Structure 1
């Protein structure tokens, strides 16, 4: 009887884990639509190619070496097949292969953050070369010091210092933003974005309906992102935990959108849709580090703080001439740090110092290694398309086709 109960629980938890992984995979579509909507029409095909290709690269590189680096063990096929599981003493509460699937879609999410930040001027193959290293080595290394439980170069384990990141505000989102910042600094701003006199020239996206669709897809996918991180659902305790995480995830997104919309209204005099969309995503990032302990009201407030912060961050980065077409560095980096620092507010087992040390470790590792890799790629094949290619749009030069050929000549 006990073994039958275990097998039922094992099946339910594995099924739940896989469904949540599928929801996170769907976030790849969300990033694709969001970025396609926020770039100019002449760069749409290339941004879509980057997103679909990076997902495939992430899945392959994490299978080849990333999972082993992050969690230890031998090559993929010999470590996570889960053959012969018959009882609770022999395995976790879900199939090991389900764990691989759930983890690999997180890797792709981190890499997707880089895509939007360097949009419209980075060479496609330079970006994909970086994706190989990011998903196969850079991300798995910092993941091994956090979720993997390994020590940082033999010095310390971040978890032992009181660092907690429930679903990845820092491990996934801030890491992706750190890599994005390195890429943006090396590739430079888009032509015409900043004037010689210090003026800032807005470059509007081509398709705000697509950007809005992308935001809703990401909002939906985030339930798998945070909810799946409970790691189980086949008991009363875990089912209640999942429900709390879903509730708080949704509340934070709503709070972030409302706060960003109101902030933009006061600052610009208009209801800025792009700020509202980034506000929702900021709320989601802010709650990701600790969606299991706040009340719904606290989650809404945390999301609102993220929504306000992201508006000011986007404006500040523009003034610093850090050109981020989709606001990825602000949403995932600045607010990712906020999310980590908010965890101790509702979780007494977490220390602010542990969160700060963890955040610094992740940021420094990812930024420095990404900067080095981007520098090497720049020296070997170059990072940036030519000025003429950028003017005409990278769709033609990089992909040989336009997203909207019947509307030729669009900017």
Structure 2
């Protein structure tokens, strides 16, 4: 306590603000506002950190004026040394012991703060000798003190924050910045470290060289100093040296080896991550199959299941033969901005050395590692076949299976890949404005493409016979399958959205994947419960099917912006997505458009909303600062955030929506119309009446029911002069 009392002897008399300093010895007028005091960070042990805060001489502009935190080295020295002796604060301590104005102060246009940290440093103290024993404890204490200060003075809390320090403070700065970053309450912009202490193993050997180059020691003293340091380093140094000292060549070789290991590890982690996420996306087909089968009538259950299986198989071949090449030929960014032109049939995915015969996979590399082209092919294949499956649900129960297989191939090999070439492949939509479009995981590229195509097929095919005359006959026949399919899709979405980070090579990528997963979860839950409540208000009945589609509506809505919106925005996106789905579903009913699984309301209309939301609700400052594809950071110009990008961003989103609707809608409509005019599109009325399963499948039933179940199931397969689905004679 003695040190604290000595300090407070120099502080001002009590002021209106409890911690405001009104005067200092020998200073006539304080040009800056000063605040000083103690923040209790642990009441049990009376652990208190001393702070001093100086407002910028130019005044504080909330949200604009930078807050700069300074930490001195020592260890144990008070950061007042930096505030009062170096060029940080507005006053400097003269040799005479008097305070004078500092013409070079950082506090001219910046708010400056020091916190004596950790406890025991400078004027900070603990009443029970409870000193910190870990970096985690240190940074948590510091954050508690910082929060206390900003609670006392909220006008500074949202200003851009910089954490700075020197010497031994270089150990504290990254730890403190990390704590501020993960808490996310204050807008941390960066750190600055001068002459920081980080590793004696690396730094100590440079001291003799520095002294020699400055003429402070001679060559003999240089060699003697090196010998002493080498002996002190002992076993640790032997890992990097061959003769008692690390030469530049040896050091560079060791660093290169470590970098090579990290580089290979980054590529391996990316590969494992994308293989796992691609498999999760592929598993979504099980969800689509269960959802569509349960939503349709029992007499067509086998056919719906078959279409989903055929869709994946045929779509895979289409992606292999043409799709990948059109979408990502020349590894993205097609030269013509429209379509890729190489990579058909997987040609060029690996090379063979003519001399050694060694086979090497084609890979794209950056600073984080290498990813093979085959890895990208696999992950993007899962997305391609998912987009085509959306159409399957919209045309269920009345489209001819061979015809749909042809369309699925066309979808996977041409319609969808061209959309990808324009967007994810680096085509013209990626550069249509200064920031390009934002569709992190595919609200537009995948879901809107599939939803618009499903709507085209539904309209061209027309409704199922009797759909709007006897609607009760078309209710889902197996609600458990619908719920199971919904959960499977939700589960697979954690590969769809987080996997679109396209890697897992460092902490920042992992944090972004976690943010994406959180947003995905919130939007799904919000969408589901909102539709459930809406339908209860309308019908006064619990609608489980509506709850399922509401969940999917939330998932589709968040897919575009899951990587650049806050969790509160994710809630809003799911909420609005639920209303978009419910409204569009009712619109289709009113227009007598028969979509058995609501594919176009869920994927098409909610896909549009998702793309728009990604632009409007970006977690930057809207038109002032925009993040988009930059993730955690804003779009920059030089060293600062580029401003005024909101109009560009929204314009790019509308361009993406327009091009997807025009391309997929036009081509799908043309394809379905041609098939309809040739009589190849729709099944006959006879087949529609008895069910596709009875007419075209063997066995002619999807379920083997017990006698009790048969008596409860009124839907039977009847053909004159034949037997029904359970082998009983018919009239």
- Tell me the equivalent position of 1:325: 596
Structure 1 residues 398, 214: closer, same or farther in 2, change over 3 A?
A: same
Give the aligned partner of residue 377 of structure 1: 675
State the match for 1:189 in structure 2: 463
Q: Distance in 1 between matches of 2:369 and 2:315?
A: 25
Conservation of the 8 A alpha-carbon contact between 1:126 and 1:381: no
Contact 2:294 2:478 in 1 (8 A): yes
Q: Which residue of 2 aligns with 1:17?
A: 274
Counterparts of 1:69 and 1:292 in 2: how far apart (Å)? Answer: 26
Structure 1 position 297, deviation (Å): 2.5
Match of 2:448 among 151, 160, 174: 174
Cα 1:253–1:268, aligned 2, differ >3 Å: closer, same or farther? Answer: same
Aligned residue number for residue 116 of structure 1: 393
**Alignment match, 1:47:** 304
CA distance in 2, matches of 1:385, 1:238: 49
**Counterpart position of 1:311:** 582
Cα distance in 1 between the residues matched to 2:679 and 2:431:
37
Q: What's the offset of the Cα at 1:323?
A: 0.4
Matched, 1:360 2:665: no
Query: Does structure 1 residue 7 correspond to structure 2 residue 264?
Result: yes
The structure showing larger relative contact order (alpha-carbon pairs under 8 Å, at least 6 residues apart) is 1
2:379 matched to 1:102? yes
CA separation of 1:314/1:364 partners in 2, compared to 1, >3 Å: closer, same or farther? Answer: same
Deviates more, 1:205-214 or 1:379-388: 379-388
User: Matched residue of 1:218: which SS?
Assistant: helix
Structure 1 residues without counterparts, runs of 5 or longer: none
Count of matched residue positions in the alignment of Structure 1 and Structure 2:
405
Q: 1-side partners of 2:583 and 2:308: how far apart?
A: 27
Taking the aligned partners of 2:676 and 2:661, their CA distance within structure 1 comes to 22
Shift of 1:75: 2.6
Q: Does 1:69 align with 2:340?
A: no
The answer to whether 1:144 aligns with 2:421 is yes
Which residue does the alignment assign to 2:201?
none
User: Which range moves more in the overlay, 46-55 or 121-130?
Assistant: 121-130
- Check 1:313–1:202 CA distance in 2 against 1; reply closer, same or farther (3 A cut): farther
CA distance in 2 between counterparts of 1:41 and 1:177 reads 24
> In 1, are the aligned partners of 2:391 and 2:453 still within 8 Å (CA)?
yes
Q: Is the 8 A contact 1:192 1:201 kept in 2?
A: no
Alpha-carbon displacement from aligned partner over 1:106-133 (angstroms, at most 9, x marks no partner): 1111111111111111111111111111
Gap change, CA 1:175 and 1:85, over 3 Å in 2: closer
TM-score (norm 2): 0.53
Q: How does 1:179-258 map to 2 (within 5 A)?
A: 179-195=453-469, 203-258=474-529
Conserved? CA contact 1:227–1:246, under 8 Å: yes
Give TM-score scaled by structure 1 length.
Answer: 0.93
Q: The residue matched to 2:420 in structure 1 has which SS?
A: helix
The alignment yields a C-alpha RMSD, in angstroms, of: 2.1
Deviation of 1:98 after TM superposition, in Å, equals: 1.1
- State the SS of the aligned residue for 1:285: helix
Question: Displacement of 1:293 after TM fit?
Answer: 2.1
Q: Which runs of 5+ in 2 are unaligned?
A: 1-257, 330-341, 352-359, 629-648, 717-731
SS at match of 1:121: coil
More strand by share: 2
The alignment status of 1:410 with 2:667, answered yes or no, reads: no
Give the match for residue 32 of structure 1: 289
Residue 128 (1) aligns with residue 433 (2): no
Equivalent residue for 1:396? 694
* Structure 1 residue 159 displacement after superposition: 6.8
Query: What CA distance in whole angstroms lies between the structure 1 residues aligned with 2:504 and 2:584?
Result: 37
Measured at CA, do residues 91 and 136 of structure 1 come closer, stay the same or move farther in structure 2, by a change above 3 Å? farther
Secondary structure of the 2:371 match is coil
Residues 1:165 and 1:202: Cα distance change in structure 2 (over 3 Å): farther
Which protein shows a greater Rg? 2
Task: Mark the CA change 1:220 to 1:332 in structure 2 (over 3 Å): closer, same or farther.
Answer: same
Alignment CA distance shift 1:202-1:301 (3 Å)? farther
Tell me what 1:346 maps to: 617
Query: How much has 1:74 moved relative to structure 2?
Result: 3.0
SS of structure 1 residue aligned to 2:474: coil
Judge conservation of contact 1:189–1:321 (CA < 8 Å) in 2. Answer: yes
Question: Do 2:271 and 2:371's aligned partners in 1 also have CA atoms closer than 8 Å?
Answer: yes
Cα distance in 2 between the residues matched to 1:87 and 1:33: 37
C-alpha change, 1:87 and 1:356, in structure 2 (3 Å) is: closer
Q: Write out aligned runs for 1:237-316 (5 A).
A: 237-316=508-587
Give the direction of change, closer, same or farther, for the CA distance of 1:271–1:5 in structure 2 (3 Å limit).
Answer: same
Identify the range of structure 1 (314-323 vs 157-166) with the bigger mean alpha-carbon deviation.
157-166
Deviation of 1:405 (Å): 4.6
Shift of 1:379: 2.9
Is residue 486–residue 548 contact of structure 2 (8 Å, CA) maintained in 1?
yes
Cα 1:159–1:146 change in 2 (3 A) is farther
Higher helix share: 1
How far apart, in 2, do the equivalents of 1:162 and 1:238 lie? 21
- For residues 8 and 302 of structure 1, the distance between their equivalents in structure 2, rounded to whole angstroms, comes to 37
Deviation track 1:234-254 (CA, whole Å, cap 9, x = no partner) reads 201101011111111111100
| SS of aligned partner of 1:94 | strand
- Kept in 2, the 8 Å contact 1:31–1:112? The answer is yes
Give distance in 2, aligned partners of 1:362 and 1:12.
Answer: 33
Q: Deviations over 1:272-294 (max 9, x none)?
A: 11110000000000000010122
- Partners of 1:88 and 1:35 lie apart in 2 by 41
* DSSP 3-state at the match of 1:79: coil
**Contact (CA 8 Å) 2:526, 2:554: kept in 1 or not?**
yes
Taking the aligned partners of 2:372 and 2:573, their CA distance within structure 1 comes to 34
CA drift at 1:33: 0.3
Pair 86,113 (structure 1): closer, same or farther in 2 beyond 3 Å: closer
